[in-house]
Amino acid sequence: MMHRYIIQSESMLSRRETLKIVGAGLLATATGSAMIRGDDKPEGPRKKVVVAGGGIGGLCCAYELMKRGHDVTLLEASGRTGGHVRTIHDPLPDGLYADVGAEHFTNPGYDQYRKYVEEFKLPVLTHPRRRNMLRRIDNKWYTEEQLQDREVLKKFGFNAKEIDFLAKHTWTELPLMYFGPYLDDFSNEYQPFGVGHDKLDEISAGELLLKNGATNAALRFCGALRGDDSPAARSGQISALFRIWQMAIVKMRKLPVFNREVFRIQGGSQVLTDTFAARLGNRVRLGCPVVAIKHGQAAVTVHFQENNEKKTIDAEHLVCSLPLSILKKIPITPDWTEAKRHVIDNARFTSQSGIVHQSRGPFWKGDVPSINLETGDPAMQLVYEMADEVPGDRSVLMGNGRPGVTEGEALAAFRGFYPGKAPITIEQTIVKNWSQDPWTGGCERSPYPLGQLHQFWPHMIEAVGRIHFAASHSDNLPWGMDAATRSGYRVAETIDRA
C-alpha cells in the first residue's frame, strides 16, 4: 500500500496537461475568440487595473474587466492560478482526478458561477454526494429515514414539536422552526441592521433558541448548517443576528437551507479557473508577490517582485483578491481606514485538509447503503465518491479533515468508522493540507465574533478609495466559489462604471 504523498502548494499539472483539461471548449465560440483578441471591446474610457491574487475571485474580476476593454494585469504570488480551487491528477492512475479544494456548485444558487460554466461550455456532471447520506452520531450510523423516525428522534431528546417538524423536514432545516419568523423582516440581503433586530447581535443563537423553547438536542444539532458546523456553531455561540441574517439571505435568494442538487465540472473545478487564466493570457503574471501598496486620490502604485527583481505598476484601480492573512502583512501608504484595518487584522477563516483515498475498485458498493458519509470524526469528516465517470478498475473517495491531519491518520480513521464489512482496498491516500499552503491557507470566512457584527459589516466588502475587494470573504454569504464570483463580477462592474 502507498500512503506517502502530501500535496503542498504548487500545481502538479504541467502547462500541456492544463491545456488538455481545458480542451476544445476554451475557444468554442466566436464570442470567446473575439474576447481573447479584444475585437469586442466596449466603447468608453479604458482604465488600467491591477488585480492582486489569482484565485477564482481575482480571475473572474480580471476576466470581466478585460471583456469591458480595460487594461488588466493580474499578479499571482504562487506558480499557479486558482487559489483554493485545486484539481490533482498525479499521482492518481487511469485518468482519475480529485478536487482537493473547492469542488461543487448548486442549482439554484451559484448564479454567477454557472454563467461562466455555460459561457465556456464546460461539461457538467450531477454530483450525488448529498443524497442518501449516512450520519454517525455518538458512534452509531443512521440513515436519513431513521433520522426522521419519531422513536429515534425521541431518544435524542427532541420535544414533541421538534419531532413533528423533523419527521417532515431534514435536520438542517431545524433552525427554521425557531428562526423562521424573523426572516421576512429583512428586505436587503446586504443590510442586516435597522430592521428591528440589532440587539440580537448581543446574544448568541443558542440563547435565542432556548428562549424560544428549543431543547438542548435542538441546540446541539442546529449547528449543522451549510459551511457552519464549527464547535462554536454547534454550541450556539454565534450571534443570533448573524445567524438569522444569513438564513434570511438564503430565503431572499429562494434557496433551500440545504441544497441536495449538487453538480461539478467534469475534469474538476480547476478546469474553470484554468479557462479564466487561458483567456486572460499574458495578463496573468505568476510568481509575482505584492510587497507594498501606495494609494492616493488619483492612482494606486503596486510594488511587487518578479524573478527576485523589484518592480512597480501604476494603475487607476487595485483589486485585492488576496487572503486577508497575507494582505495584513503588506505595507500600505497611507494606512487602511480604521474600519478596514480592523477587518483585515481580525477576520478569521476556517481551514481544513482535502483527503483522497484511491481504492482498487468500489469496494463499498453492495456493502453499505451509501458511501456519502457524515462521520463525526475530525480526521475525516465527510466521505463521498468522485470521478466515478472515469472508466477503469480503480476508484476515488474524497473527504476533508482537520488542519494538519496526516495521511496515516485519515486512513486509520476511515478504517475505523467505515460502516460496512467488505475488505477495504485503499491503495494510496493523498492529503492536501491547506493550513500549510503559503499563499492560500484559509477556506471560508468564519462567523463574526458575538456582538461585533457592526465592526465587520459592511466594512468587509467596502472599497477604500481606489482599492477594491473581490474574494470569497468579500460577499455577504462566504460560500466559496459562489461568493468569489459574485464579488469579482460586482467589483468589475463598479470599476467599469467609475
Q: What is the pLDDT of residue 53?
A: 98
Residue 221 CB burial class (10 angstroms; 0-12, 13-18, ≥19): buried
Q: What is the pLDDT of residue 311?
A: 98
Q: What is the pLDDT of residue 236?
A: 55
Strand ranges across the sheet with 332-333: 309-315, 300-306, 290-295, 332-333
Residues 75, 72: Cα–Cα separation, whole Å: 10
Q: Contact 491/238 with Cβ under 8 angstroms? A: no
Q: What is the pLDDT of residue 45?
A: 86
pLDDT along the chain (498 residues), means of 10: 38 37 33 35 81 98 98 98 97 96 96 98 97 96 96 97 95 93 97 98 94 93 52 65 97 94 97 98 98 98 97 98 96 98 95 96 97 97 97 96 97 98 98 93 86 97 98 95 98 97
Instruction: Quote the pTM value.
Output: 0.90
Q: What is the pLDDT of residues 318-330, one digit of tens each?
A: 999 999 999 999 9
Q: What is the pLDDT of residue 6?
A: 38
Residues 375, 407: Cα–Cα separation, whole Å: 17
| H or E stretch covering 71 | strand 71-76
